Amino acid sequence: MDLSPAEHEDRAGRANRPVWSPWRSVFAFGIVSLAADMVYEGMRSMAGPLLGSLGASALTVGIVTGAGEGIALALRLLTGRMADRTGRYWRLTFVGYAMTAICVPLLAITPFLGVAGLAVATTLILLERTGKAVRSPSKSALLAQVSKSVGRGRGFAVHKALDQVGAFAGPLLIAAVVAATGRLWLAFAVLAVPGVLSLVLLAQVRRRTTLADDKVPDVVPEPREPARLPMAFYVFASSCAAGTLGLMTFGVISFHVVDAGLAGAAAVPVIYAMAMAIEAVAALGTGFAYDRWHAKVLYVLPVTIAFVPALSLAGQLGWVLGGVALWGLATGIQDSTVKALVADLVPSGSLATAYGVFAAFQGGAALVGGALAGGLYRDHLTLLIVIVAVLQAISLGLLVVTRRSVAAAQQ
């Protein structure tokens, strides 16, 4: 289709502006994610107390937050394919970040809405998670392209490390505001600042990169069908799904910590922050290693996950902290380095589609894995440990098949 006058002017203007180097663009993407993570991780850390203060029961809180995570993962099947069909990677990325930047601070008004407060808060939380689904495949596709020349492992690693700084800082900012003022609504209002910052910086990245004009076009002649994803991608997605089945959610671990009397509820955010810090280090270490040793670096993932249940659900806090450390290590690898291999497995024109499908594999596995761990940990812990070990053996086998497929394709 023809470009509008505004789009012609935008492209002409970008052509005359200095272009950022690939590394600078990677760092800029990372700072965007850092700011946005402060917003939505801050929200997630206090979503339960907020909904409870508005009259929600524990069941309602579970349904709302669970539905939010389901939306954030499942909708990527649609938004990823949409991005590859239309080429509107930047537009979808902006829309997704804007939904987070707007919806989370608006939670500040819900305590003043009376009986409508709970319904409005629920809607805003679900819309924020929808924004995550809208932007994630497009953002990952853009990052995969901009980091190609510097090493995708390094690129995703640095981005994830910066992302985790926001995941660490957001809940602490919320806690500090609540501790200082005693007003939960004010804490949500403060999150408007990093939200606006994320959008301003994203606009700068858009202006200072040539991605929209070459490898990941922002305007395409007409809708196009993404190339079919190769079988090696599905084998790898199945491997990671088997791993995720055994990698229980932190919610199960934190429930065990409090339920077993190992630590008070106030200590849980500190333990979670520790996991986030380890996740950042794991992403950096394995990401840089991936660019040197490629897929074989990922062999550590199923081995690590196999030990998580036995340690994190133990009866002593020291063992639990060790399990949480392994949980953070595995999560860091899953959220960064595996994305580098996805980008190496699929055609560039199908990256967003691939990330959407991959998220669906992981989301379904996380749902089943969480239910499995929650149902077995109290009375059938040994059975849970055995099941997870078997799943990780399957994951390792599928990863070996994936690596051999990649090696054969390169010959």
Angle subtended at Cα 382 by Cα 376 and Cα 386, rounded to the nearest 5 degrees: 95
Mean pLDDT by 10 residues, the chain (411 residues): 50 60 88 93 79 79 72 86 89 96 96 93 93 92 86 84 86 83 89 96 87 44 65 92 81 74 72 81 83 82 91 89 91 82 83 86 78 76 90 93 76 58
Local structure of residue 217 (DSSP, 8 states): -
DSSP output for 63-113: HHHHHHHHHHHHTHHHHHHHHHHH--HHHHHHHHHHHHHHHHHHGGGGGGS
- Return all residues near 40 (Cβ < 8 A) that are at least 6 apart: 100, 104, 128, 132, 170
The domains located in the chain, with CATH, are 5-213 (1.20.1250.20), 231-410 (1.20.1250.20)
CB 314 within 8 A of CB 260: no
Q: Which two tokens stand for residue 371?
A: 């239910």
**What's the CA gap between 12 and 386, in Å, rounded?**
60
pTM, two decimals, is 0.72
Q: Token match 């002409």: residue? A: 12
Q: Which two tokens stand for residue 14?
A: 């970008």
Q: Token match 């305590």: residue? A: 111
What is the sign, positive or negative, of the torsion defined by CA atoms of 177, 178, 181, 185? positive
CB 156 within 8 A of CB 298: no
Q: Which two tokens stand for residue 395?
A: 């994951």
Instruction: Identify residue 120 by its one-letter amino acid code.
Output: V
pLDDT score, position 209: 81
Local structure of residue 211 (DSSP, 8 states): G
**What's the CA gap between 169 and 35, in Å, rounded?**
9
pLDDT score, position 171: 81
